[in-house]
């Protein structure tokens, strides 16, 4: 098997590199500009970055083989997501590894701001003792408004509650019944009007650019304080400086800025009511190691098994779901590829039916895996988890996903049904022992086949000697039969079905020789 080729463009650490090198050829090249990154991407299967490297559309012009960009960390604003998506390139991050560290930094900023600790520290080191100058505010009983209840926001809310603060939060994707205990969900304007401290924990998107611009900052109650350790650009830094100078806001603590490094002459550097740190929210030894190891493992899993963990531009599968879901992702992909391979023609519609506990997991990732398997040969673009849904829509293929009650002697079942050139065909599969995929039914024929390619599928007369002649021909073609499963003919007039797992795929001449065997009515190859 060919080894993958990975470019690491930012520091990942030796432990992370060791995981990658066990499965791939790794090139480390840091400090690359657009032109050099473009050249370095040629022939690479994966790119790994932190926040320093900018992955632009221009740089991606050199990505002739790239299938994956991994971001060691949370924010992906240094990656041109639309350009990567247009090329079918998966982008993944590590949203969990640095969550605790970043949340703790936000709390540290909040406490430092409330008690003016940085200013008092500087004053004392300058040989002074101005006790009356550094009168702070208590946190107990104060209201903190948490903007964004993702992984980081939830930890901040928990820590703030531990400081005896009243916690309100805003997140359009989190209803009250899914909020942490004791956290009241409110609209953003209400949060700004009520909170003594506002702390921001949302990603930088087009919708959140200048979410805290001049108008929203003015809606914060007079004397409130702002904590920002998310991504630069969510807060309008110039408007913030104006409102701090005017006295409308009592203070701000910032770890991120619209322009980084923060310009030496920026007004925020001169304001005594501001606490500043140089984008170090995730900068602890534990977090730096954790994000590197997590991303290295995710990249290897994606390249070797096709399972995308923590995808940004694909349906998200978390590492916690992976152990259960990954074998079903493989199964669903292979079932769809099998059906598309044995039933060539125009796919008009495709339906995924999930039965059992798997139906409660992640239906959309399973649907995308099905489309990747079914649409490999539709159009010119290869189907990936990034573009499979778009390719299906462009081809006019109707896609449907549903769940059903348990009807068979399996805990979980996956059924893929296609309408091809007006004829309906279906294949059913399951996973045995949490990791062994099985094709258990094809168009009503009961089977126990392994659907992993390469597969030779034959339709042949159900009479003595036919299987022997097929097996002999396979051997003469220097291929080994790893497993064979027979689907008996449903009636004497219909052919039997043979599914042959081979060690190597047949070439065109080999497949023609199988088809030329007497009593073989048809033969196709899958994979």
| Helix ranges (DSSP H) in 306-419 | 319-342, 363-374, 388-394
- The residues near 512 (Cβ < 8 Å, ≥ 6 apart) are none
Q: Is 231 a catalytic residue?
A: yes
Starting from the edge strand earliest in sequence, which strands make up the sheet with 68-71, in order? 24-28, 4-8, 46-49, 68-71, 90-92
Dihedral sign computed on CA atoms, order 77, 81, 84, 88: positive
Q: What angle do CA 254, 258, 261 make, to 5 degrees?
A: 80
Q: Is 483 a catalytic residue?
A: no
Q: Is 415 a catalytic residue?
A: no
| Helix ranges (DSSP H) in 220-318 | 237-246, 285-305
- Cβ-based burial of 436 (10 A; exposed 0-12, middle 13-18, buried ≥19): exposed
Whether residue 63 contacts residue 88, with contact meaning beta carbons closer than 8 Å, is answered with no
169 C-beta neighbours (distance < 10 Å), count: 27
Residue 295, both tokens: 């991303």
Whether residue 468 contacts residue 520, with contact meaning beta carbons closer than 8 Å, is answered with no
Catalytic option among 21, 58, 279, 381: 279
Catalytic option among 260, 286, 394, 482: 260
151 in helix, strand or coil? Answer: helix
Buried-state track 452-486, b at ≥16 Cβ within 10 A, e below 16: bbbbbbbbbbbeeebbeebeebbeebebeeeebbb
Catalytic option among 105, 228, 231, 479: 231
In whole angstroms, give the CA distance from residue 34 to residue 57.
Answer: 9
Whether residue 521 contacts residue 459, with contact meaning beta carbons closer than 8 Å, is answered with yes
Whether residue 229 contacts residue 281, with contact meaning beta carbons closer than 8 Å, is answered with yes
Report which of 323, 296, 302, 324 is spatially closest to residue 314, judged by C-alpha positions: 302
In whole angstroms, give the CA distance from residue 88 to residue 71.
Answer: 17
H/E run at residue 190: helix 188-194
Q: How far is CA 507 from CA 241, 469, 511, 512, in A?
A: 69, 19, 6, 9
Residues belonging to the active site? 231, 260, 279
């Amino acid at each position: 098997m060919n080894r993958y080729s990975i470019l690491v463009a930012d520091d990942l650490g030796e432990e992370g590199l060791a995981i990658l090198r066990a499965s791939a050829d790794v090139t480390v090249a840091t400090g690359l500009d657009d032109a050099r990154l473009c050249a370095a991407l040629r022939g690479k299967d994966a790119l790994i970055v932190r926040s320093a490297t900018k992955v632009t559309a221009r740089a991606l012009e050199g990505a002739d083989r790239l299938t994956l960009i991994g971001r060691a960390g949370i924010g992906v604003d240094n990656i041109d997501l639309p350009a990567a998506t247009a090329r079918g390139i998966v982008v993944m991050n590590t949203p969990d590894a640095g969550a605790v560290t970043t949340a703790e930094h936000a709390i540290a900023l909040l406490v430092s701001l409330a008690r003016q600790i940085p200013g008092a520290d500087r004053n004392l080191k300058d040989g002074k003792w101005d006790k009356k100058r550094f009168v702070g505010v208590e946190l107990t009983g104060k209201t903190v408004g948490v903007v964004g209840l993702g992984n980081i926001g939830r930890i901040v809310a928990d820590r703030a509650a531990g400081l005896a603060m009243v916690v309100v939060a805003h997140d359009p994707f989190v209803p009250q019944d899914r909020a942490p205990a004791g956290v009241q969900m409110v609209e953003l304007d209400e949060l700004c009007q009520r909170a003594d401290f506002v702390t921001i924990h949302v990603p930088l998107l087009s919708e959140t650019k200048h979410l805290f611009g001049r108008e929203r900052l003015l809606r914060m109650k007079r004397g409130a304080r702002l904590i920002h350790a998310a991504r630069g650009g969510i807060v309008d830094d110039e408007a913030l400086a104006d409102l701090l100078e005017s006295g409308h806001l009592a203070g701000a603590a910032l770890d991120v800025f619209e322009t980084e490094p923060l310009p030496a002459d920026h007004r925020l550097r001169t304001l005594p009511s501001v606490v500043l740190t140089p984008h170090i929210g995730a900068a602890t030894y534990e977090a730096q190691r954790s994000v590197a190891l997590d991303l290295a493992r995710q990249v290897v899993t994606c390249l070797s098994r096709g399972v995308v963990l923590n995808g940004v531009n694909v349906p998200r599968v978390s590492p916690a779901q992976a152990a259960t879901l990954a074998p079903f992702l493989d199964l669903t992909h292979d079932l769809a590829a099998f059906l598309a391979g044995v039933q060539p023609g125009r796919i008009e519609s495709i339906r995924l039916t999930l039965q059992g506990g798997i139906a409660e997991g992640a239906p959309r990732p399973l649907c995308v895996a099905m489309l990747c398997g079914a649409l490999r040969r539709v159009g010119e673009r290869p189907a990936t988890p990034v573009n499979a849904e778009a390719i299906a829509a462009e081809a006019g293929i109707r896609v449907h996903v549903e769940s059903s009650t348990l009807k068979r002697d399996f805990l979980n079942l996956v059924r893929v049904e296609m309408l091809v050139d007006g004829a309906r065909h279906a294949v059913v599969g399951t996973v045995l022992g949490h990791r062994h995929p099985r094709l258990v039914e094809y168009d009503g024929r009961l089977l126990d086949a392994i659907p992993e390619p390469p597969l030779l599928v034959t339709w042949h007369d159900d009479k003595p000697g036919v299987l022997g002649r097929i097996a002999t021909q396979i051997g003469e073609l220097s291929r080994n039969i790893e497993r064979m499963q027979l689907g008996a003919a449903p009636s004497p007039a219909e052919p039997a079905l043979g599914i042959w797992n081979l060690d190597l795929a047949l070439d065109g001449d080999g497949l023609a020789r199988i088809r030329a065997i007497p009593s073989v009515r048809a033969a196709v190859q899958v994979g």
